[in-house]
Amino acid sequence: MNIENSRDYYGQVLQGSADLKTDACCTVEAPAPEIRSALAHVHPDVRARYYGCGLIAPEAAHGMRILDLGSGSGQDAYLLAQLAGAEGSVVGVDATPEQLAVARGHLDWHAERFGYRNVEFLEGDIEQLDALDLEPASFDLIVSNCVINLVADKAKVFRDAHALLKPGGEFYFSDVYAERRVPEALLSDPVLHGECLSGALYWGDFDRLAREAGFRDPRLVTDRPLAIGDPAVAEKVDGIRFFSATYRLFGLDGLEPACEDYGQAVRYRGTIPGHERALTLDAHHVIEKGRMFAVCGNSWRMLAETRFAEHFEFFGDFSTHYGIFPGCGELMPFSAAPAGEAVSGCC
């Protein structure tokens, strides 16, 4: 399966000649008030053609240069444009002409609505980002929403994303994952591919590919099991559980393979708009304002050497090593854990 098949499938969905058969391409989590407000300023035609599987709204995005991979009709791009503000910018990349036409057709409407123009859309294959006129190490944030599963060479997407990020930049994205590897016989099924199932990465393979690309400590933010409402599709994938999950990957060369304890701590100032009470770094790190919060060396760097630094106080250094951080383990999606088994977390 390749990007041509994806274009065909989603083109049919947009034209009304096909329907989606799972909730993979739906966002079910309730957005925060500021995100709901921003979504209200996105054109209804753009929202009506949205097929993401997660909420792509990374914190502290003001002033950031953002790349949206598989930007589709532009909902995430126009949402992020408001979070980035007039000082920031968003570049959307998509390969489906029908979606790009919708996104580009509303550029003027959104510029008037926002009071500034900071969005552009490029036609391109996210497997070939190096063929586009994108400067290496020029983006603060890269996002994607349920598109990496649609491409064949996922490793190249991760490598190219890493190369496009500034030092300390972040790849923040939602996608579909499987609890085991999808059988080879299902990979060429056009419906399963279009429904984001046949291309879903086994979460262990994702972890390996991300680390090989330079993202040394992938962090799970949220996850949920997918519902498959079509009996024929459910029968084809019987025995495999699928999940929508949001991860964040930091472009930090100093991260270690495991969470090491150096006796460090952070204290959140509560200064990120929309997250004044607490910042969720990942599923294991909900850092409340004003509270001394012990962290491993990797988490310390994810805050101290990124856009989050101004929002925290930092305590300790790397002068004394105390071994592995207590409770550190594989950051496996919670809902993917076998029944009755606890899931250990990173820190």
Residue 31: the pLDDT is: 79
Q: What is the amino acid identity at position 153? A: D
Instruction: Note whether 261 and 325 are within 8 A (CB).
Output: yes
Both tokens of residue 36?
Answer: 């709901």
State the chain's maximal CA–CA distance in angstroms: 63
Whole-number pLDDT of residue 14: 46
Euclidean distance between CA atoms 145 and 36, whole angstroms:
18
Distance CA 53, CA 290 (A): 33
For the chain (347 residues), the mean pLDDT of every run of 10, in chain order, is 48 48 58 91 96 90 98 97 98 96 98 98 97 97 96 97 98 96 93 93 96 97 93 95 96 95 98 96 96 98 98 98 80 49 40
Question: Can you give the pTM of this predicted structure?
Answer: 0.89
Question: Who contacts 97 (Cβ-Cβ below 8 Å, separation ≥6)?
Answer: 7, 11, 123
Q: CB of 212 within 8 A of CB of 204?
A: no
What mean pLDDT, rounded, does the chain reach? 89
DSSP string, 31-73: PPHHHHHHHTTS-HHHHHT---SS----SS-TT-EEEEET-TT
Per-domain boundaries in the chain:
3-250, 264-336
Tokens of 157: 């997407």
Q: Which of 134, 127, 105 is nearest to 45 (CA)?
A: 105
CATH architecture of the domain formed by 264-336: 3-Layer(aba) Sandwich (3.40)
Q: What is the per-residue pLDDT for 52?
A: 86
Contact between 228 and 200 (Cβ < 8 Å): no
Q: Which residues pair with 65 in a beta bridge?
A: 89
**CATH top-level class of 3-250:** alpha beta
Cα–Cα distance measured from residue 300 to residue 71, given in angstroms and rounded to the nearest whole number: 31
Q: 3-class DSSP state for residue 237? A: coil
